[in-house]
Amino acid sequence: MSLRKDCRVSSISSTDQYVGMLKDTIVALVRRDGPDLSSRQLGVLLTCYLNDGPQTVRGLAAELNVSKPAITRALDRLGELDLARRKVDPADRRSVIVQRTLKGQSFLRDLRGIMSEAGAVVRKPVADTSSKVAVAG
């Protein structure tokens, strides 16, 4: 008798649950129709949308501990997808402010739904499998 691939042992740690939820979320993002973001692009997007106040390229680079050119490349892609847009700061024309967009808000709403579904799968009660032994085929 072999164990099913999707069967989760009830004693897995919460860290393993988070990793499983992250995997399920990323797989769902990859499978859906829509933009495919790198981890850096997703990090920039989430920082812009989940942190209060305006975000600048300089501030994002400092917060994410990456270079300003790396933030610029991520914002180039997010801009192409209309998930974020850049605007010169009228108070300091040397600074660039990152603005949220309706499409970016929609992406975040979809992401929350996907994560909610992934979390529900991880939290599902599982049958006791401790007495079953996997047999190599």
Residues 88-118 have pLDDT tens digits of 988 888 889 999 999 999 999 999 999 988 8
**Predicted local confidence at residue 117, as pLDDT:** 87
Q: Residue 69: inside a domain, yes or no?
A: yes
Q: Residue 36: inside a domain, yes or no?
A: yes
Q: Residue 2: inside a domain, yes or no?
A: no
Q: Residue 34: inside a domain, yes or no?
A: yes
Closest CA to 46 of 113, 136, 107, 124: 107
Q: Residue 6: inside a domain, yes or no?
A: no
* Residue 96 near residue 56, CB atoms below 8 Å: yes
Q: What is the DSSP letter of 85?
A: E
Q: What is the DSSP letter of 99?
A: E
Q: In total, how many domains does the chain have?
A: 1
Which of 66 and 29 is assigned the larger pLDDT? 66
Instruction: Name the band, by pLDDT with cuts 50, 70 and 90, for residue 33.
Output: confident
Q: CATH number, domain at 23?
A: 1.10.10.10
Which residue segment(s) compose the domain that 26 sits in? Answer: 14-123
**Predicted local confidence at residue 131, as pLDDT:** 47
Residues 4-15 have pLDDT tens digits of 444 454 445 788
**Predicted local confidence at residue 122, as pLDDT:** 64
> What is the average pLDDT across 16-21?
88
**Predicted local confidence at residue 123, as pLDDT:** 64
Token pair in block for residue 111 = 């992401």
C-alpha pair distances (Å), 86 with each of 45, 63, 113, 135:
12, 18, 27, 56
In this predicted structure, the answer to whether residue 129 has a pLDDT above a threshold of 60 is no
Residues 41-94 have pLDDT tens digits of 999 999 999 999 889 999 999 999 999 999 999 999 999 999 999 999 888 888
